[in-house]
Amino acid sequence: MHGPPKKTTTTPCRSWREALTCSPQNMETKRSVSSKSSEKQQISIAGAGNRLISHDRIGPRVLRLIRDRYGPGVELCDIGTSGLRLLDYLHDQALLIVIDACLMNEAPGTIRVIEPDLDAPGTELVANGIAGRSVLNTSIHQIGPLETLVIARRLYEENMPRRVLVIMVETRDIDAMTERAACRKVVEILDREIGLCRIQ
């Protein structure tokens, strides 16, 4: 004869730094964060950065380039220099794409597209094609979009997009010509990914 089911207890996370390494099973699920958008879109593109700073304006510049490109169903989100603002735009959409300037010690304008495993411990979150290299703390912002996504996966699971892509652009020593070329390549990536999402 089976006894009463055992009660499970969870321990809330005390800080965002702790959330990066805690197991989801040991985290307390918080209430969902509401989206700023009253009409929730199925695809969101978030650009991080400061349009006034040359090495940190990739996100805002790409958002400006695609302002009228995709039409209804695609939400453009300028999250500025605080990765935590990304929490406002998580609403169980089909696809979230984040664009961010990063320091990866690669050639200026190098682009990495990753589909992060947000269930992995923070120290094991690695970029596809960069074997063994953690991509946490590569953003030039104190709390970047990747760190925010790891936190959100543990605290706001019901709001998480079904698929997340992060487009990282190396901006160390980037010049204007390289920046423009990188922005065009990012738009090509967006065209491909949004097209694939819409036909699924």
What pLDDT, in 10s, does the model give residues 140-180?
A: 556 778 888 888 888 888 899 999 999 999 988 888 889 99
Please give the pLDDT value at position 52. 79
Neighbours of 144 (CB within 10 A): 26
Q: Assess contact for 133 and 98: CB atoms under 8 A.
A: no
Q: How confident is the model over 14-18, as a mean pLDDT? A: 49
SS3 of 111-157: the string is EEEECCCCCCCHHHCECCCCCCCECCCCECCCCCHHHHHHHHHHHCH
Residue 84 main-chain phi, psi, to 5 deg: -65, -20
* Nearest alpha carbon to residue 137 among 98, 93, 164, 100: 100
Q: How far apart are CA 195 and CA 147, in angstroms?
A: 27
Q: What's the predicted TM-score (pTM) here?
A: 0.73
Q: Assess contact for 141 and 130: CB atoms under 8 A.
A: no
Q: Which two tokens stand for residue 7?
A: 């009660």
Residue 140 main-chain phi, psi, to 5 deg: -80, 0
- Better pLDDT: 130 or 166: 166
- The answer to whether residue 105 scores a pLDDT higher than 70 is yes
pLDDT per position as a tens digit, 47-100: 998 887 777 789 999 999 999 999 889 999 999 888 888 999 999 999 999 999
Domains and CATH numbers, the chain: 37-199 (3.40.50.1450)
Percent of the chain surpassing pLDDT 90: 37
CA distances from 110 to 103, 135, 182, 192 (A): 10, 14, 8, 18
93: left (phi over 0), alpha (psi -120 to 50) or beta: beta
Please give the pLDDT value at position 29. 34
